[in-house]
Each structure stands twice: as structure tokens, then as C-alpha cells.
Structure 1
Amino acid sequence: MQIIECQQSLPQPYRWHEFLAFHARDVQQRSERLQPQSRRLFKALIWHGQPALMVLQWNERQVQARLHWPGDVVQDTDMHSQHQQQFQALLLRMLGLAWPPSALVQALGCHAELGPLLDRQRGLHVPASPTPFEALSWAIMGQQISVAVAVSLRRKLIEAAGLPLHSSTQQQVPEAAHLRASPDAEQVLQLGEGALRDLGFSQAKARTLLCVARAVQEGLLPLDDWAQQSARGLWNESTVEVMAQQLLAVKGIGPWTVNYCLLRGYGWPDGSLHGDVAVRRAIGLLTGTDKPDARAASDWLAQFKPWRALVAAHLWASLADKSY
């Protein structure tokens, strides 16, 4: 058993609303347990092929993170440092700090329509899933259905194929004993199409998820490698375009799924979510016009490159702002 620890200071202000809402999607809490009053999150995840438990504890200015992992204790100094760096990068993505959105406010704070919204929602950061495969799976499940139905599918998938925490982890952290890590590509492939259909997946969703899992296993979609490249600062628009084309080559994956995965799996700030119904509705409210179609929404978001995905996140949040 290993315990990896790190900490992360928070920009000020840091708005916790989006982070808490993201990890409270499922009230049954099968993969994560959120304790808002004590400011703690217990999150099960797959780490280097094994179920692990991340424990986050925070205050207004800092997050303490601890990872309980049932792997052998790493004696090699370089390998230990590599694991530490990977965990730090994962924490940054989860907190929405991979590309700090403060630059968005600096660049667009004076925009006539968007500027006032950015000011009202100052400190908004976009939380991400701990692994890119979990983010992509969630995006596939969420295609063209309500959030409530997608959450139900996610829960059933975790219950059917998610990995339980190691017994030693359950003993160390009994509050998280019931959690299961969201399945990775290997566990999804073991289910097969019939089992996914029995869980309530449509034939199209089941086949798309299996195609993605197979491509990951075969190295055609190196999702984790892309995350490491991102953490080393090796991403640019050309890199992301190549990634997007590889994802789009999978039948059943379209631009919305790609850009949502880039945002929720990697924290990439510039995917255009113009096909998102909620984004389009928020654009109409913000501009005082009818809800635009996808093409018009794409044209409107284009002025905000390279921050289109972060702008979309502000638009999502605006729909919950009852004063707006």
C-alpha cells in the first residue's frame, strides 16, 4: 500500500459551486462521497491499473490531496517523483487549474455582453474527471439525453463493472468503503454489448463505448499519454486538432463529445460547445435574442478563441443564476 500526498494553493477567488455540483451529480454516491460541510471529497479511481482512493480536504486557500493506492511501495526515486508529478497534474485538472481561467477575465472582461457575466461569476473554474477515460465515458453516456438519465446510466455502469477499493484502503478510510472506481477500458470490454444493453444503454451508446474502450486498449486512443503531454506543457492547437480527429474517427463520436471530453478530461479551454442546447439557450438570454441554432452559436463563440469552452462553462452557470 502506498500513500501519495500533494497540496495545491487556490487562486482567489475560487468558486466551489461548480466543483461541488459536479461531484454531487449522483445522490447515491457510488464512485465519490462528498462531505461539503467538512470540505472533503472521497473519490475512487483507477490509478495505474488498480482501484485507488483520492481524499481531498480543503479550505478557502488550499487543497490537501492524498491518494491511497494498493501498489507496491516505489523505492526508485525517479519513479516516485513521476507518480508525484502525475498526481499533482491530476489534481490540477480536477480543480480546473490546468489552464488558469484568470486569463479569460483579463482578455474579455471588457466585452460588452460577456464581461458583466464574467464579473458576476468571478472565480468560476471548470472541474474535470480524474481520468480522461471517465470523462469520455460520461460524455458518451450524456449524448442527447437528460442529465438525470445519464447519471442513472453512469451509476449502473459503475455498479456492474466498477472496481471496489482494496480491503486495506477500506480499513484505512472506512468512510469510503462502499465506493467503486469508475471502470476503465478493460472493465468495459469485459462487459460486452449485451451487458451494456441490459444496463439501459442504447445500442448506439453501447457500441460507441466499446469502440472507444477497444481503441484505448489497442493504443489507438492514448488518452493517458495525452494527459501526460498536457501536464508537460506540450499541447497546442495543432496537437488538439490531431487528437480530435482521432476521436472523431470512432463511430458515434461527434464534435460535442470531443470538445466536452477535452474540457472535462483535460481542462482544455477552447473546445467549441456550440452544439450544446444549454449553451445555445444561454447565448440567447445573454444577447437578448432567440436561441441560436448551432451554426449561429458557433459563429458567436468564435470571437472568444482560445477560451470558447470556458465561456461555455460561464454560460452553463448563468442558467442557474436566478438573478440573471
Structure 2
Amino acid sequence: MAISYSGYLNLPHGFRSHDILAFHDRDSEQTAERVNYSKNLLEKGILWQGMPACLILQFKKKQQVAITLLAEGGKDVSELEILPIVQRMLGLNQDIDDFEKAHYRHPQLGTLVKKQAGLRVPLSSTPFEALAWAITGQQISLAAAISIRRKLIKALGITHSCGLYCHPNAEVITQLGQDKLHQVGYSKTKAKTLFNLSRGVIENTLPLDDWLTQQTPVEEISKKLIEVPGIGPWTISYGLLRGYSWLNGSLHGDAGVRRGLQKLLGLESKVTAEEAEKWLAPFTPWRALVAAHLWMSL
């Protein structure tokens, strides 16, 4: 098993490694991610330059994370290639200090900000993975979305020698086709949406990775994504949060956000999407980060 990269990355004081591990530990069968809390260890199956790979992150006591990439059939990987990916996955580019300074005295949200100080939003390994998950999770429970994602990954059968399945890229999805997507649990509408997203990536009409490296404005990305039938405001806001670290998406339609807000405000009745949107509005440019605090409070 060749080591393509091995190195360390320094972490800020009080970094919440448990949040990262928990985000990648949602699949109880550990299909494409394997988490060991006692060792502060995450192993994630990915495709690196189209080849199966295993990304290993082990959080150390001295505010460091050890990074190892095991790529099959690949060449050595430089820091310039791997570190930006890990930094983004760990949320290290998120402006949480200014957010906490601005809102730790807020009469309602301030309680969560103090209790959950240092909270960052964990990201997917690629923008495509984030958007694929957002499409998978549209209007269904978390458990159902996890099950469909697991079936998809297993159906494709791309494995690394470490024993993990690898999350597919756009090329693999297009080869699979809409009918197979439907067979593993996607509705016909979602199958078409995911297929069209994948085809857009392949045809470069939706250059997700280029948008990331070129720091394309969110407004331009959103305008392109909304043209894909089946992709709406929630999918865009969630996909941009988990894929591009955009902290200002308004996730007011998210059921978890509304439950968290109901709990925070001590309300007996459910919070509507309109009420959540109005409540989140003053927290611009951190509305999605506020949503993450509400998720965590549950």
C-alpha cells in the first residue's frame, strides 16, 4: 500500500476534532468512512485522480492533525495538492472568531455560541460529494439519505485496499446511469437531477472544482446550479456550505434548523420556514453557521 503523502497540519487552539469525526460517522456500517474515537482517527475512501485512495486524518494532542494519503497506482502528492483539501474539510478557513465576537451576547443565540464555542462546519472532500449528498437528502430523513448513499456507494463497488469503499465522482455516476440510480433508491426525479449534475461536471458546464480553486462568486455558482432541474435554494445553500464553506446560505427550510430554533426559543408550536428565514436574516453573513449551531444544539 503506497504512501502518496504524509505530513502534519497545525490546528487552532480549542479545535473541535470530535465534530469532524461525528460528521463522518453518520453511516453506522462505515461504508466509505471509518471513525475511531479512542484514537481520534478518521479514514475516508475517496477517488484521487480517478484512482481509489484512503485519506487518513489522526488528530494529535498538540493541536496537530497527521495527514496520510494512500493512493493506489498514483504518484507522490505535494502539500499544495492535499493541504487545501484537508484545511477545507476541517473548516479552517471559516471566519468563526468574528462571528462569535459579534453574537456571543445575543439574547437568544448567545447561549449556543458560548456553549459551542469554536464550532466549525465540517466539509465533504469535494464540492461534488457535497452536492450529491444534498440531492440525496432532499425532503427525506437523515436515516433514509444515509441508507441510499450507502447503497449507491456499494453498488458502484469501488474499493481501496484498506477495506473502505470510495465515494464516486461525476464520471462514475454518469457511467452508472439514471436507471441504476433509481434502482438503488433514488426517486426518478432525484436520479435525473444527480445524473444531470454529473453530466454537467463532465461536460464542464458545471466546473465544480474550478469554481473552488478560482474562488468563483457564490452568486455565479448559484445561478448555474439553479438551472439544473431538481436543484433548488435548499440544495444550493447546503451544497455550497458543505462543498465551498459558504457560511451565509439561508437554510430556513431545513427541518433540523427549524427544530433547533423551536428549542432555542422555547416555543410549543413548530417554527415555519418563513419564521425561520426572518429570524436568520439579521445574522448575515453567517446564516449557515447559525444553522450549524442549531443543528448541534439538537
TM range (shorter): over 0.9
Answer yes or no: is the 8 Å Cα contact 2:4–2:74 preserved in 1.
no
Aligned length: 295
SS at match of 1:180: coil
CA drift at 1:123: 2.1
Q: In the alignment, residue 73 of structure 1 is paired with which amino acid?
A: K
Q: Could you say which residue in structure 2 is the equivalent of 1:318?
A: 297
SS at match of 2:225: helix
After TM superposition, the score normalised by the length of structure 1 is 0.86
Query: 5+ residue gaps in structure 1?
Result: 75-79, 171-175, 320-324
Give me the identity figure in percent. Answer: 46
The correspondence for 2:223, drawn from 231, 239, 245, is 245
Q: Could you say which residue in structure 1 is the equivalent of 2:137?
A: 142
Q: Could you say which residue in structure 1 is the equivalent of 2:107?
A: 112
Q: In the alignment, residue 8 of structure 1 is paired with which amino acid?
A: L
Q: Could you say which residue in structure 2 is the equivalent of 1:193?
A: 178
Answer yes or no: is the 8 Å Cα contact 1:263–1:271 preserved in 2.
yes
Larger mean CA deviation between 134-143 and 10-19 belongs to 10-19
CA drift at 1:67: 1.1
CA offsets, 1:184-214, max 9 Å, x none? 1111111111111111111111111101001
Q: Could you say which residue in structure 2 is the equivalent of 1:25?
A: 26
CA drift at 1:73: 3.1
CA offsets, 1:250-281, max 9 Å, x none? 00011111111111112221111111011112
Tell me, in whole angstroms, the C-alpha distance in 1 between the residues paired with 2:223 and 2:240.
12
Answer yes or no: is the 8 Å Cα contact 2:153–2:166 preserved in 1.
yes
1:309 aligns with 2:288: yes
Give the alignment of 1:1-324 within 5 angstroms: 1=2, 3-60=4-61, 61-73=63-75, 83-165=78-160, 170=161, 176=162, 178-229=163-214, 234=215, 239-289=217-267, 290-319=269-298
Tell me, in whole angstroms, the C-alpha distance in 2 between the residues paired with 1:274 and 1:15.
25
Aligned Cα RMSD in Å? 1.6
Answer yes or no: is the 8 Å Cα contact 1:162–1:183 preserved in 2.
no
Answer yes or no: is the 8 Å Cα contact 1:30–1:179 preserved in 2.
yes
Q: Structure 1 residues 119, 179: CA separation in 2 closer, same or farther (over 3 Å shift)? A: same
Q: In the alignment, residue 66 of structure 2 is paired with which amino acid?
A: Q
Answer yes or no: is the 8 Å Cα contact 1:6–1:88 preserved in 2.
no
Tell me, in whole angstroms, the C-alpha distance in 2 between the residues paired with 1:100 and 1:8.
18
SS at match of 1:52: strand
After TM superposition, the score normalised by the length of structure 2 is 0.94
Q: Structure 1 residues 73, 198: CA separation in 2 closer, same or farther (over 3 Å shift)? A: closer
CA drift at 1:72: 4.5
Q: Structure 1 residues 297, 67: CA separation in 2 closer, same or farther (over 3 Å shift)? A: same
Q: In the alignment, residue 75 of structure 2 is paired with which amino acid?
A: V
SS at match of 2:46: strand
Larger mean CA deviation between 239-248 and 58-67 belongs to 58-67
Tell me, in whole angstroms, the C-alpha distance in 1 between the residues paired with 2:36 and 2:238.
26
Answer yes or no: is the 8 Å Cα contact 1:141–1:153 preserved in 2.
yes
Tell me, in whole angstroms, the C-alpha distance in 2 between the residues paired with 1:162 and 1:182.
10
CA drift at 1:288: 3.1
